[in-house]
Amino acid sequence: MSTGSLSWLATRWVSPDSLIAAFSVMAARGHDPAPARRAGKLPKDFEETSPRVSFGAAAAVWRHVIRVCHDPALGIRAAEHSLERDPSLIDYLLRTSPTLAQGLADKARFAPVEDELCRCAWSEDGDTSRFVFRGSAEFYLPPVAEFVAARLVGAVRQLSASELNPIAVRFQHAAPSSTTTHRQFFRSAVQFRASSLEVEYRAHELLRPSRTSDPALNRLLLEVAQQKLDDVARPRGPAERVRELVTQFWQHEQHRIPTRTQLARILRVTPRTLGRWLEADGKTYSDVIDEFRAMAAARHLQRPESSLGALSEMLGFKDQSAFTRAFRRWTGVTPGQYRRLHAYLES
């Protein structure tokens, strides 16, 4: 299976930030965000819980927002909303970095923490510094590409003492019907149909520290970011990713386990394609569901207040006896024995 295929791309995780910002834009214009959430199969409390979402789900939401809003500057307006929210871990790296240049270099290095397949590059050539979005960014819808560029420019502007502006901003897509807002926001040359999505600065202007520079905190944040990057880089097959989607569905759909058809619909592929993905890992959909049930059961059995009857029902078993037999098959012990063993180890 090629990890570069669009079908496989659809299962990769991305940050929810752009979607939350897009919903804010919709609400500000009097549009109900609920249909957009449904387009991506997102939970009703998405904005409060902010779970990671698949690339495919995020793209479905954005397609709906684009149709509803009809705004050539939608991505920029979403970025403006996003800049008002609490910053992410990677944003904090930029805020606390010794210099803006180092912060942007770290932002490029740790980009996969927020978008698994995003590969950014930071380069310096003479007095020109360039931040280039690559990887999954090449598949971004135009407003999403404009969102990530505007969010970066806006963050640098907030952190610089003199509201630093880029030299140029370049997009791979065609120019929208109006670029007035683009020129006003970026305050630089804005090019379309370029070879890459990138933002260019004068290198010497980035050597100053940000207004919130905190080298000691930055060192701690770098350690956390590295741990998260190591986790993202850990090889994971289709089965693990599908299991993560099953878990997310179960958590937000009143403890209902999705059928293979339902999960394939979320990924916007056919059940047969989903089956082929799992076959590449040597597993079936039933295997993935069993793994999910075993892990969920083990977590809940560690809680003394958890009822076996309620847990059996939550995990989709017809009765407690069926759950007990399955758990013994998974672990070699009964649920009661597992609970007692865990309590002993914890004491």
The overall pTM is greater than 0.75: no
In terms of Cα–Cα distance, which of 46, 42, 52, 40 is closest to 24?
A: 46
SS3 of 274, please?
Answer: helix
* Window from 8-12, 98-102, 177-181, 253-257 with minimum mean pLDDT: 8-12
- pLDDT-derived band at 336 (thresholds 50, 70, 90) equals confident
Residue 284 neighbours by CB under 8 Å, 6+ apart: 275, 278
- Per-residue pLDDT tens digits for 190-239: 999 898 899 999 999 999 888 999 999 999 999 999 999 988 776 667 88
Most confident range, picked from 43-52, 83-92, 185-194: 185-194
- Per-residue pLDDT tens digits for 28-59: 999 999 999 999 888 888 877 776 788 778 88
CATH number for region 238-346: 1.10.10.60
Give domain limits for the chain.
86-233, 238-346
H/E segment holding residue 53: strand 53-54
- Per-residue pLDDT tens digits for 149-175: 999 999 999 999 888 999 999 998 889
